[in-house]
Amino acid sequence: MNDRKLVLRTADQSRRADIDFDQSSTGSEIIQAAVDNWSLPADMDYTLVNTTTGQVLNPSQPLELQAKGGDVLEVQPVLVAGGRLAGAPSAGGTAARASSAPSR
């Protein structure tokens, strides 16, 4: 086994661990281990960011291609904001244009 040391933390930095990882480990395996060990909400999606390089890691690729010893990896929740109901007009939609037309 070829191990390397990294720092793994949550985005809010409330949890932090110095970890030894196998270079063939994938980002998704690291995320799952963090969810399990730190009791993070399992109903959320997470991404792994190498804060040393500023790169978002591909969860299906081995870490050996995306991180080196000493890098800091951050488990970040994937937040979805700005969703709208199906059928609702967008801000630039027909309803917005119709209401801004001058009346005659």
CATH number at residue 24: 3.10.20.90
Please check whether residue 92 lies inside any domain of the structure. Answer: no
Q: How far apart are CA 57 and CA 78, in angstroms?
A: 13
How many folded domains does the chain comprise? 1
- pLDDT score for 2: 56
β pairing state of 3-10 and 72-77: parallel
20: containing domain: 3-77
- pLDDT score for 4: 80
Q: How far apart are CA 52 and CA 70, in angstroms?
A: 9
Q: How far apart are CA 13 and CA 51, in angstroms?
A: 12
Q: How many CB atoms lie within 10 A of CB 25?
A: 17
Please check whether residue 17 lies inside any domain of the structure. Answer: yes
Q: How far apart are CA 78 and CA 17, in angstroms?
A: 21
Residue with tokens 């244009």: 97
Please check whether residue 89 lies inside any domain of the structure. Answer: no
- pLDDT score for 22: 86
Backbone angles phi, psi at 6, to 5 degrees: -135, 165
Please check whether residue 85 lies inside any domain of the structure. Answer: no
- pLDDT score for 31: 96
- pLDDT score for 86: 54
Query: How would you write the pLDDT of the chain (104 residues) with one tens digit per residue?
Result: 456 899 999 999 999 999 998 889 999 999 999 999 999 999 999 999 999 999 999 999 999 999 999 999 999 999 887 755 555 555 554 444 444 444 55
